[in-house]
Structure 1
Amino acid sequence: MTHVRRPSMDETGRFSSPTRRQLLAGLATGLATPALLGTGALSMTASRARAAEEGLLFKHKYGETLLEKPATRVVSLGFTTQDSLLALGTPPVGIREWFGARPYAVWPWAESYLGDAKPTVISGEVSIEIVASLQPDLIIGVGSGISKAEYDVLSQVAPVLMQPADNPSYGTRWDVQTEMFGRALGKVEKANELIAKNRALFAAVRERHPDWAGKTGVCAYNFNGETGAFIGSDTRATFMAELGFKPTDKLADLKTAQGFYAPQSPEDLSALDADLLVWISSFDTVPDIVALPMRKTLKAYKEGREVMAGSLIAGALSFGSVLSLPFALQELEGDIALALDGDPATRVPSSVKAGLAP
């Protein structure tokens, strides 16, 4: 069985799939079919020109993908890409589960877009047999972390769309993602509307809080005994930037680990000491944050400038999608305003409830 790897996950055995003989026979007889458009089987000048004109030619990390027509049956292998597809009105036939154990791997901010669809949840290792059994006409590999070899295998099932070449594996912004998928689905106008609406939401928040501009803001974590900050192209870091915040000088000078986070020494958390400190956590990790000895040395702690992003908000920020970001904005705007009002007595209520108050 050929698998696309997903570290630290177990195969659930929930799926029915064709036999290996059936699959290989299908691939052998389909080498000249549209299923291989993603690997360039149809490289004729006319096909490329038509696809480019219609916005269906995509250059990406592993080459280029041509679509004969807008896709309708999509398998979403990116860990968060289901949100953009749902927002565009095309529920995926298969969704790769990241975390949270949500029904159909869809979180609350996106549930209303699911409708009557019941996508197959792909958890554990992603097998080519499972993907093939869903009969997709497009596979979303953006944000999936698949290798070139895995891309080549999946491209024998359907065209595979990857992130732009200059994007890290998990660093494609929500607007780039939405625009790309809008073209692939033939829903460019809808994609533009979604992007414009979200940009307007961020602009409105910045307008309501001009004092946030130029202040430092950090999204921090504490998992499995490690404390650090999300930086660079990470969705949580870019969320802060879109609100007008900048990283602390110490974080700005740090190199990222795997492109999106920077671990800190347990003895020195000073790089996290921003005007606004948002803890990205879940309720089961709150005691670990509370118990951090060096946290209480931070001015952000002493002056009540901390915000706790509990499980749901943390999930929304981690997804960083066209659907999750408006949810996060709505939930966090008031808390951030309280944290930055200059009065330590008005600590964020959610932080008090979570046990972060002194």
Structure 2
Amino acid sequence: MGAFPCSRRQVLGGMAATLFAPALLSATRASAAGGALSFPHAFGTTVLPEPPRRVVSIGYTTQDPLLALDIVPVGIREWFGDQPHGVWPWAQAHLKGADPAVIRGNVSLEAVAVLRPDLIVGIGSGINEAEYASLSRIAPVLMQPPEFPAYGMPWDAMTGLIGRAVGREAAADEKIREAAAILAAMRARHPGWSGRTGVAAYHYGGETGIFAPSDTRGHFLAQLGFEPVPAARHLDKTGAFYQKLSPEDLSALEADLIFWVSSTETAADLAQLPMRRALKAHAEGREVFAGGLLAAAISFGTILSLPFAASELEADIAAAVDGDPATAVPSAVKAGLAP
């Protein structure tokens, strides 16, 4: 699974709960019987008799919610980026000096078994039913509820579910409120963003396209008040999380904000796209470029990465949405995308 494309505490806790909490209602539902918790999912039901002590994280981003809850996994699956212990800078402090094993590529049963876990977090791991069954012989495997696709569980719902599984439900609720408040406060500081159109786009390996609103990158814009463009909205109806566009027609990107999420190495190629230069959004300076660390943070879309990305990108988004080319967006200037 490649990086592209794929599928602080603030005072607005009340607003945050209104904006973000509904996603938790079905996702964190689990039944308790005799002290045990059961979690239904597409492959069956996982039963946890007691809170785990040794957790292995094989989801591509599940290390973040675990670390946010002060659970340091004994094993972490690396997604991309070759970061120490598979943990990116926004979450590194939560390791507290620990040295978890790194699981790279496909999940090896031997690599997991040697870590002696009593819980394997497989949300967003992409494992199939046979792999789930094999891993379940090592330890209970926590998967996303059946209503969510493999890579489509929202950050708040994921954190709430993991919090309940590891016996830290109250802490998870508090962390969710704090992170949601950061995004809600950013949205409240910019009421003019609500109702404006925004599109999350990528340019990678010579390919240009858009992300669906349900993808973490598109969902980030929605949380800030932006409305998806028609082409992106259509993707949610088809179940696809991204769509390649013809280099001869990039009109699907026309929006009040084009939010480029790509690797820094692709910026020069993106800057030279002829049809991008024909977009009104480009002429008016309505582009933001999130590359490198910020692209990773947006792609992770977790309780730790999103507040980090929001704080780093707020000024750029505000400068882009004003539609004045004179207020050059630093990220676009640096990437060579400014009009």
TM-score w.r.t. the length of structure 2 is: 0.89
Quick one: structure 1 residues 306 and 296, their matched pair in 2 at CA, closer, same or farther if it must change by over 3 Å?
A: same
Counterparts of 1:169-248 in structure 2 under 5 Å?
169-248=150-229
**Match of residue 302 from structure 1:** 283
* Local SS of the residue matching 1:266: coil
Q: Distance in 2 between matches of 1:88 and 1:303?
A: 43
RMSD over aligned Cα atoms = 1.7
Post-superposition offset of 1:259: 3.0
- The one-letter code matched in structure 1 to 2:151 is Y
Quick one: structure 1 residues 125 and 251, their matched pair in 2 at CA, closer, same or farther if it must change by over 3 Å?
A: closer
- The one-letter code matched in structure 2 to 1:168 is P
Q: Distance in 2 between matches of 1:74 and 1:68?
A: 14
Identity within the alignment, %: 58
1:333 to 303, 314, 317: 314
Q: Distance in 1 between matches of 2:32 and 2:327?
A: 60
Question: Where does structure 2 lack aligned partners over 5 or more consecutive residues?
Answer: 4-30
Q: Distance in 1 between matches of 2:33 and 2:106?
A: 37
Contact between 2:2 and 2:79, CA under 8 Å: does it hold in 1? no
Post-superposition offset of 1:264: 1.1
Post-superposition offset of 1:255: 5.9
Q: Are 1:50 and 2:31 counterparts?
A: no
TM-score w.r.t. the length of structure 1 is: 0.84
Q: Distance in 1 between matches of 2:213 and 2:247?
A: 21
**Match of residue 31 from structure 1:** none
Quick one: structure 1 residues 211 and 169, their matched pair in 2 at CA, closer, same or farther if it must change by over 3 Å?
A: same
Post-superposition offset of 1:232: 3.6
Q: Are 1:319 and 2:300 counterparts?
A: yes
**Match of residue 244 from structure 2:** 263
* Local SS of the residue matching 1:229: strand
1:282 to 263, 274, 278: 263
**Greater Rg, structure 1 or structure 2?**
1
Question: Where does structure 1 lack aligned partners over 5 or more consecutive residues?
Answer: 1-5, 9-46
Counterparts of 1:1-358 in structure 2 under 5 Å?
49-51=33-35, 56-254=37-235, 259-358=240-339
- The one-letter code matched in structure 2 to 1:146 is I
- The one-letter code matched in structure 1 to 2:95 is L
- The one-letter code matched in structure 2 to 1:189 is A
Using CA pairs below 8 Å that are at least 6 residues apart, which structure has the higher relative contact order? Answer: 2
Contact between 2:200 and 2:217, CA under 8 Å: does it hold in 1? yes
* Local SS of the residue matching 2:160: helix
Q: Distance in 2 between matches of 1:256 and 1:352?
A: 35
- The one-letter code matched in structure 2 to 1:67 is L
Q: Distance in 1 between matches of 2:198 and 2:157?
A: 24
